[in-house]
């Protein structure tokens, strides 16, 4: 049995807490929000996961020291925008070599750093890993079969976390390609916004299939230029995560995109979804990375124009369709 603290009382953190508790581990859930802690203590359920009952012996706290000290694993499950402030807050309590698993997805806008890079910068003494893949909290919390990937610089660390999480309904693969995982998990949220926008405009399956396949092409093009492995973008944390985020109504990014396609601003869409829409935060960073590495990302570019420049969604789709004629695969020679 391991002692694990989940840092973040949102739906994903709670789903992971339930999974680890079922695996026999001692689980503590920490939140910076005192009212959220009290709600969890009193109701033993999360408002976003009404079908999931939390066990009576699960610990809920807002005390940093109680959550961090003596824990075998810290699971960082706060929204990406709060990763740095949370890491900075607990840094002085983290022991040398203490394991931290980040399960959020995003890129910091002003630094273009991945979330694991932020944690390593704020807590240099920690042993940092990441977990990503097609995994909606609503399904993981209910024990629906799910496959996911853990990435770390050390195989020993990756295998340790794999053993903590894996069971008959939660399959865990491991990889050393942390960068590829994080880029796939972050950038797919922006493409999922595009997929939702297309739904909001009333377009169909043909449009979504095109966005998914051309979207993963853009993600892989940038990701490999930055040092990620092409195979990663063909796997669970690439195309797998992209498919589920573009297709499912569990996806907050798709739902926000639908509202934007129907004419709402991104601020109004986020307010209606009532959850953090990570794709909005990652969109500008994705465009900045594309410019930095001189990579063409037309879908990402049009999403940014719709979100932040007042461009109509219908016009953005039209411009995507009317771009210059191209070959789909550039490295395959013609016979004639």
Mean pLDDT across 198-220: 94
Mean pLDDT across 158-180: 98
State the pLDDT at residue 262.
94
Residue 198 has pLDDT above 90, yes or no: yes
State the pLDDT at residue 96.
98
Find out whether 306 and 313 touch, Cβ atoms under 8 Å: yes
Residue 277 exposure: Cα atoms within 13 Å on the Cβ side? 29
What would the two tokens of residue 203 be? Answer: 């377009």
State the pLDDT at residue 212.
94
Q: Report the sign of the C-alpha dihedral through residues 79, 80, 83, 85, in that order.
A: negative
pLDDT band at 221 (very low <50, low <70, confident <90, very high): very high
What would the two tokens of residue 304 be? Answer: 């940014």
Instruction: Identify whether 229 is a catalytic site residue.
Output: no
Burial readout 35-55 (b: 16 or more C-beta within 10 A, e: otherwise): ebbebbeeeeebebbeebebe
How many angstroms separate the CA atoms of 63 and 82, rounded? 17
Mean pLDDT across 17-43: 94
- Give the largest CA-CA distance in the chain: 72
* Centroid of chain to Cα 297: 20
Mean pLDDT across 34-59: 90
Domain boundaries defined on the chain: 3-176, 179-321
The string of DSSP letters for 272-297 reads: HHTS--HHHHHHHHHHHHHHHTT---
State the pLDDT at residue 324.
84
Per residue in 88-143, pLDDT (tens digit) is 999 999 999 999 999 999 999 899 999 999 999 999 999 999 999 999 999 999 99
Q: What is the mean pLDDT of the chain?
A: 94
Per residue in 307-316, pLDDT (tens digit) is 999 999 999 9
Residue 249 has pLDDT above 90, yes or no: no
pLDDT band at 4 (very low <50, low <70, confident <90, very high): very high
pLDDT band at 209 (very low <50, low <70, confident <90, very high): very high
Residue 20 has pLDDT above 90, yes or no: yes
Per residue in 252-287, pLDDT (tens digit) is 999 999 999 999 988 888 888 877 788 888 999 999
CATH architecture of 179-321: Orthogonal Bundle (1.10)
pLDDT band at 48 (very low <50, low <70, confident <90, very high): confident
49 DSSP 8-state letter: B
State the pLDDT at residue 15.
96
Q: Which of 135, 48, 128 is nearest to 90 (CA)?
A: 128
Token look-up 């966005």 returns 211
Query: Of 105, 188, 229, 284, which is the active-site residue?
Result: 188
91 DSSP 8-state letter: G
Per residue in 71-92, pLDDT (tens digit) is 999 999 999 999 999 999 999 9
State the pLDDT at residue 331.
82
How many angstroms separate the CA atoms of 66 and 69, rounded? 6
How many angstroms separate the CA atoms of 225 and 22, rounded? 40
C-alpha distances out from residue 48 to 10, 52, 154, 322, Å: 8, 9, 35, 41
Mean pLDDT across 232-247: 96
How many angstroms separate the CA atoms of 304 and 194, rounded? 10
State the pLDDT at residue 280.
87
Length of the chain: 336
Instruction: Read off the pTM.
Output: 0.93
State the pLDDT at residue 318.
87
Q: Which of 142, 165, 147 is nearest to 49 (CA)?
A: 142
Backbone angles phi, psi at 61, to 5 degrees: -150, 155
Mean pLDDT across 46-72: 93
Instruction: Tell me the H-state helices in the chain.
Output: 11-22, 34-43, 64-68, 83-90, 115-122, 137-140, 155-165, 178-200, 205-226, 230-233, 241-247, 252-261, 266-273, 278-292, 298-308, 313-321
- At the fourth CATH level, which superfamily is domain 3-176? NAD(P)-binding Rossmann-like Domain (3.40.50.720)
Find out whether 223 and 232 touch, Cβ atoms under 8 Å: yes
């Amino acid at each position: 049995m391991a002692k694990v603290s989940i840092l973040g009382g949102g739906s994903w953190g709670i789903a992971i807490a339930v999974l680890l508790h079922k695996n026999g581990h001692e689980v503590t859930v920490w939140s910076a929000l005192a009212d959220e802690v009290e709600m969890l203590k009193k109701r033993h359920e999360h408002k976003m996961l009404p079908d999931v009952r939390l066990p009576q012996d699960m610990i809920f706290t807002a005390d940093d020291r109680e959550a961090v000290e003596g824990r075998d694993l810290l699971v960082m499950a706060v929204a990406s925008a709060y990763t740095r402030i949370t890491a900075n807050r607990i840094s002085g309590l983290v022991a040398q070599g203490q394991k931290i698993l980040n399960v959020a997805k995003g890129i910091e806008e002003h630094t273009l750093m991945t979330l694991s890079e932020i944690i390593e910068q704020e807590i240099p003494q920690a042993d940092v890993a990441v977990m990503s893949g097609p995994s909606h909290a609503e399904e993981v919390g209910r024990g629906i079969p799910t496959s996911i990937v853990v990435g770390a610089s050390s195989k020993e660390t990756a295998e340790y976390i794999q053993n903590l999480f894996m069971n008959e309904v939660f399959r865990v693969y491991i990889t050393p390609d942390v960068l590829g995982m994080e880029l796939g998990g972050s950038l797919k949220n922006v493409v999922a916004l595009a997929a939702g926008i297309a739904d909001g405009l009333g377009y169909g399956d043909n449009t979504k299939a095109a966005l998914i396949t051309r979207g993963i092409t853009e993600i892989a093009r940038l990701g490999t230029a930055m040092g990620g492995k092409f195979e990663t973008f063909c796997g669970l944390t690439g195309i797998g995560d992209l498919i589920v985020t573009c297709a499912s109504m569990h996806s907050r990014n798709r739902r926000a995109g639908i509202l934007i396609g129907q004419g709402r601003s991104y601020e109004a869409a986020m307010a209606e979804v009532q959850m953090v829409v990570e794709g909005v935060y990652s969109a500008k960073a994705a465009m900045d990375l594309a410019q930095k590495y001189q990579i063409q990302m037309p879908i990402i570019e049009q999403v940014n124009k719709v979100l932040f420049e007042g461009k109509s969604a219908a016009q953005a789709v039209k411009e995507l369709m009317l771009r210059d004629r191209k070959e789909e695969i550039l490295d395959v020679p013609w016979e004639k």
